[in-house]
Amino acid sequence: MTLSAFLLQGQRSCVDDRDAQGVIGTPGGDAGELLLGLAATERVRGRALEQTNVLRLLEHHTDTFERSYMHSDIHAMNRLMVDGLRKDDRVVPHLGVVFAAEEWRAWLGKPPRAGREAVLFHLTRPTNIGGGHLKFAITAGADYGVRLELAEHLLRAFPTLRRAGAPEFEFVILGGDHVGGAVANVVVPGDLRSYTRVPLVSPMVAGHQMFVNHPQVTSFLRREPGAHLARADVVAAADTAALADAIEAPGQQQAGQTLGRLARGLPLFGLTLAHGSALVVRQTGVV
């Protein structure tokens, strides 16, 4: 896919090894990048963002870029339902007959008003977060440069906006376990341009899994959303360059933290796009 097409039509998926479709991977996917941008905005502004600020910024972002992706997994969703919601007296009276997975999904999409705050509380508990990157940002915020409250604001904003009628906020539930046997960094030679074609790579094929990361593409794609935050009147236009720096360096640090936790000891490969659609694969080290 060309970068220009991807910027307006695609979604950045997580590096997670359990996705069976072709992806452009970055830690946490769109949600991880949004959290990175929000944390950078706080640093440049010199003051914290509140929940209302985060909701407005996410709406503004999706009005322009159309789609935003966050994922969980089946294990976290089971814990949410069985150990969280079914044991919470604030929620139980409003559950009714909810058993099958599709019934739970429909109920969580529009929980009764009286139970909504309790649902948001449980969605921000680390044990109920199925995306490793966002969970680590909650549990090891000092290593990620992210305030706990800011990460919680983002986790609450996604379901709140979906419930309000914004299907552009995509919530994907992945199945299975992390059994990835490698980490793949996908690289496109030369400078990236809007017309550059980038390979989408599937993390899971024929029972084999790997963590897929597009660091070079991710850096390129951060430019537009980063500048867009400045246009949202959150930071001054003169601070756009400072905001870009405040996104890129922590982004690389966070990627190292997440892959180090999810894939420590696994072989690291470079997948370089050659002529046409061929990929040259070389092992470059160990995570």
Each residue's pLDDT tens digit, 225-274: 666 766 665 666 567 778 888 899 999 999 999 999 999 999 999 999 88
pLDDT confidence band for 94 (50 / 70 / 90) = very high
Give mean pLDDT, residues 57-75. 87
Average pLDDT, the chain: 90
Q: How buried is residue 131: exposed, middle or buried, by Cβ count under 10 Å (0-12/13-18/19+)?
A: buried
pLDDT confidence band for 38 (50 / 70 / 90) = very high
Per the CB < 8 A criterion, the answer to whether 196 and 3 are in contact is yes
With H, G, I as helix, E, B as strand and everything else as coil, classify residue 267: strand
Place of tokens 């024929």: 206
Taking the alpha carbons of 29, 216, 262, 279 in that order, is the dihedral positive or negative? positive
With H, G, I as helix, E, B as strand and everything else as coil, classify residue 112: coil
pLDDT at 93: 94
pTM here is: 0.92
CA distance 277 to 197: 9
- Give me the domain span that covers residue 279: 3-286
pLDDT confidence band for 96 (50 / 70 / 90) = confident
Which letter does DSSP use for residue 95 in this model? T
H-helix segments, the chain = 3-9, 29-45, 51-65, 74-79, 101-109, 116-123, 132-139, 141-144, 148-163, 215-221, 223-231, 240-262
Per the CB < 8 A criterion, the answer to whether 148 and 138 are in contact is yes
The domain total for the chain is 1
Tell me the two tokens of residue 198. Answer: 């980038």
pLDDT at 121: 97
CA distance 280 to 167: 38
Give mean pLDDT, residues 53-66. 85
